[in-house]
Amino acid sequence: MPLKKIKAIHLIGGVVVIGSASLLFSQSSSIFVTRYNSVASPEISEAAGEAPKPEAVKHIKTPKPLKAIYMTSWVAGTRDLRANMVKLIEETELNSLVIDVKDYTGRIAFEVSEPLLKAIGSEEIRIPDLKDFLKDLHDKEIYTIGRITVFQDPYLAKTRPDLAVKRASDGGVWKDYKGLSFTDPGSKEVWDYHVTLAKEAYAIGFDELNFDYIRFPSDGPMSDIAFPWSGNRAKADVLEDFFAYLQNGMKGTGARLSADVFGITTTNTDDLNIGQVLEKTAPYFDFISPMVYPSHYPPHFIGLSNPAAEPYKVVNYSISEAVKRLIATTTPVKAKGSILISTTTTPLLYSKKVFDINKLRPWLQDFDLGAIYTPEMVQAQMRAVYDSGLDSWMLWDAANTYTRGALLPQ
């Protein structure tokens, strides 16, 4: 189009709007996407008549108690496999389903429409009928939770290496021992990307968004690591800024927000060198989900030679400690940088508001690691949760093969 024919150009963020066309660009990458707005001319609208309005997306209330299982995006996109899991929910005490929206690969599992998401090109349409699937689940009164892996994101780190955690030695993209890379938790562009994704996931039908890998990286060459956006700021402060930004960005949508944290955050008072502190997470989410998998605790935790073989003791102790911390007005903490320091007493105390203990909704282990998990061992974890004063839990198995014998019939 010759420049003299352009009547109006509007620059909105990274979107140039020319008439009815939107040109999306990124200053720090070669990505360039053109999107045409679906606004018909008056003549076309008159001739075609009024277009039918799309069916409104239904959302349902959070069940109480909530009892959920996790489903990968690949299973969600395979009708017979997902049907078996839905049947399990219908026939047992389960009432909720957690489905991957974006997993450890960084790929988004459904078709998106927002230009910011389109520009990254991270779609891998694993669940082509996601909207219909979510509607079917809602028709069965099954609560739906979209899981979003945040800072562990090899795809975004490769597409936008300027946003990635770097090697201090040569400036290349840092990888952990599994070969996976992370984006820098201090990057506001990364924050915007995930707020936008969360809004789109809610709009398509998810009732709640669950954020995982909301942490700094670990399990890699930590002596050769640099954070171009976070710099030397205290990691817990960087994450708290993100949590506040996320909460504010989702305000008014109606979406419930939940956060996955390491199980040991319930008993440790430092940030584990990954930035996760229970008291700095709780204010910004509707639910906190400590991953209290007994197999993930070190030998001799609370005196147990093999914590995986003692699921009741591990889960009950961990969740009971979390309950105490949520209802406390102060919590002792270990000082590191500016983390949580509010007084000069010893030990340092973090002043906080009292939270409802039902904000806690732990992930429990339903997989074999460190021990063979029988129905009784899965049930022992559930009993541990109930004995700590809570009533909700979620079961995790990466293979999506859950122990029916551990679940009460409907």
Q: pLDDT tens for residues 324-381?
A: 999 999 988 775 544 444 444 456 788 899 999 999 999 999 999 999 999 999 999 9
Mean pLDDT of 70-87: 98
- Give me the amino acid identity at 397: D
Q: Where are the alpha helices (DSSP H) in 94-252?
A: 115-120, 130-139, 154-159, 188-204, 235-249
Please tell me the CATH code under which domain 66-406 is placed.
Answer: 3.20.20.80
| Poorest-pLDDT segment among 33-37, 83-87, 175-179, 396-400 | 33-37
Residues near 87 by beta carbon (within 8 Å), at least 6 away in sequence: none
Mean pLDDT of 149-174: 98
Q: Answer whether residue 295 shows pLDDT above 60.
A: yes
pLDDT tens digits along 382-400: 999 999 999 999 999 999 9
Q: Answer whether residue 215 shows pLDDT above 50.
A: yes
- Domains of the chain: which residue ranges? 1-40, 66-406
Task: Give the pLDDT of residue 241.
Answer: 98
Cα Rg of the chain, angstroms? 23
* Alpha-carbon gap, residue 195 to 190, rounded angstroms: 9
Q: Answer whether residue 29 shows pLDDT above 60.
A: no
pTM: 0.85
Q: Answer whether residue 245 shows pLDDT above 90.
A: yes
Reported as a pLDDT band with limits 50, 70 and 90, residue 21 is: very low
Structure-model confidence comparison of residues 28 and 86, the more confident one? 86
Strand partners, 393: 67
Task: Give the pLDDT of residue 2.
Answer: 37
Task: Give the pLDDT of residue 50.
Answer: 59
| Poorest-pLDDT segment among 52-61, 306-315, 389-398 | 52-61
